């Protein structure tokens, strides 16, 4: 099926509250333009260099989301134009984003990544670390960061009950933080979870942002940008 055909199909599954992030990493500009022509404006990338190049070449009303693992030395390249950084996984990284945002006289929107999967390879804070960071007020110093919510990736498995349980852990954590810190973080309500294989479960469990790549654009050719 064509890119626009796949998007139409996916959009039928999405309730009003859920935003679609078209994950275009490793796909060429033409593929993004096809999605753009069918009305999509939010695209997700996971490599800084690939993202900055696409941002320069493609229409300026695209909202670019960074969904990969971000290294502190690359933050400065994203800050001028990025709309949302999904996977912030350390205080050190928050500190650098805040510093670069101050320099650029901007406020940068971020989601905090929580480790919900069984695999140890996935990045993020543990749920208890996350709660401690809020309790200890460690996020207050970052004046140029707008914290919008949480992001997580479920275990790569066919066991849908496990995936559901992990998404539920993330949603519960969000609800706990919202009820304890609504005064300090009134905008904290987004929950980025769900990819091609598990977005329907993620939506049932309260996702507000789904990050979908291969279902829209097909398989990625990892050679093309490396
Ligand atoms: C690549 C990627 C996606 C998209 O994955 P698909 O399975 O192709 O939909 C979503 N989220 C993150 C963090 C990714 O790196």
- Residue 94's contacts (CB-CB under 8 Å, 6 or more residues apart) are 88, 110, 139, 142, 145
Per mean pLDDT, which range of 86-90, 183-187, 218-222 is the poorest?
A: 218-222
pLDDT given at position 123: 86
Q: For residues 72 and 55, what is the distance between their CA atoms, to the nearest angstrom?
A: 20
**Whose C-alpha lies nearest to ligand 1, atom 6?**
213
Distance 192 CA to ligand 1 centre (A): 11
Res 194: pLDDT: 98
Q: Helices (H) and strands (E) in the chain — how many of each?
A: 9, 8
192: pLDDT strictly greater than 60: yes
Residue 75's nearest CA partner among 102, 54, 41, 43 is: 102
Distance of CA 23 from the midpoint of ligand 1 (Å): 6
Q: Could you tell me where the beta strands, DSSP code E, fall in 8-62? A: 19-23, 42-45
The answer, yes or no, to whether residue 121 has pLDDT greater than 80, is no
**Gap between the Cα atoms of 132 and 216, Å rounded:** 38
Q: What is the mean pLDDT of residues 100-127?
A: 93
Per-residue pLDDT at 224:
53
CB 101, CB 146: distance < 8 Å? no
Nearest Cα to 138, choosing from 88, 77, 175, 209?
88
From ligand 1's centre to the CA of 44, what distance in Å?
9
Confidence class of residue 104 from pLDDT cuts 50, 70 and 90? very high
Distance from the alpha carbon of residue 68 to the mean position of ligand 1, in angstroms: 9
Name the residue at shortest CA distance from atom 4 of ligand 1: 213
Contact 82, 65 (CB under 8 A): yes
Q: 81 and 55 in contact (C-beta within 8 Å)?
A: yes
| pLDDT of 162 over the 50 cut | yes
Atom number, ligand 1, closest to the C-alpha of residue 195: 9
Please give the number of the atom of ligand 1 that sits closest to the Cα of 212. 9
In the reported structure, the alpha carbon of residue 180 is separated from the centroid of ligand 1 by a whole-number distance in angstroms of 31
Query: What ligand 1 atom has the least distance to the C-alpha of 23?
Result: 4
Asked whether the predicted pLDDT for residue 220 surpasses 90, the reply is: no
Where do we find the tokens 């960074």?
66
Backbone angles phi, psi at 167, to 5 degrees: -65, -40
* Closest ligand 1 atom to Cα of 211: 10
Record the pTM.
Answer: 0.95
pLDDT tens digits along 30-61: 999 999 999 999 999 999 999 999 999 999 99
Q: For residue 113, what is the DSSP state?
A: E
| 127-158 pLDDT per residue, tens | 999 999 999 999 999 999 999 999 999 999 99
Ligand 1 cavity residues, CB under 6 Å? 23, 25, 46, 67-68, 153, 195-197, 211-215
For residue 27, which of 62, 63, 3, 8 has the smallest C-alpha distance? 3
Measure 69 CA to ligand 1 centroid, in angstroms: 12
Q: For residue 84, which of 134, 43, 125, 26 has the smallest C-alpha distance?
A: 43
Å from CA of 25 to ligand 1 middle: 9
């Amino acid at each position: 099926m064509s890119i626009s055909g796949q998007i139409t199909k996916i959009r039928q599954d999405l309730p009003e509250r859920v935003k679609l992030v078209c994950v275009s990493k490793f796909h060429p500009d033409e593929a993004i333009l096809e999605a753009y022509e069918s009305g999509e404006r939010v695209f997700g990338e996971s490599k800084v260099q690939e993202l900055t190049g696409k941002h320069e070449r493609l229409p300026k009303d695209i909202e670019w989301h960074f969904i990969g693992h971000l290294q502190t030395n690359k933050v400065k390249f994203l800050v001028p134009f990025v709309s949302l950084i999904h996977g912030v996984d350390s205080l050190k990284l928050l500190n650098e984003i805040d510093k670069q945002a101050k320099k650029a006289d901007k406020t940068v929107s971020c989601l905090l990544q929580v480790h919900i999967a069984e695999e140890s390879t996935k990045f993020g804070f543990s749920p208890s670390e996350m709660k401690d960071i809020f309790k200890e007020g460690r996020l207050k110093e970052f004046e140029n960061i707008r914290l919008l919510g949480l992001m997580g990736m479920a275990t790569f498995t066919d066991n849908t009950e496990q995936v559901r349980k992990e998404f539920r852990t993330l949603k519960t954590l969000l609800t706990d933080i919202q009820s304890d810190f609504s005064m300090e973080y009134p905008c904290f309500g987004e929950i980025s979870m769900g990819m091609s294989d598990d977005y329907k479960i993620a939506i049932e469990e309260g996702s507000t942002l789904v990050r979908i790549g291969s279902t829209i654009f097909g398989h990625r050719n990892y050679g093309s940008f490396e």
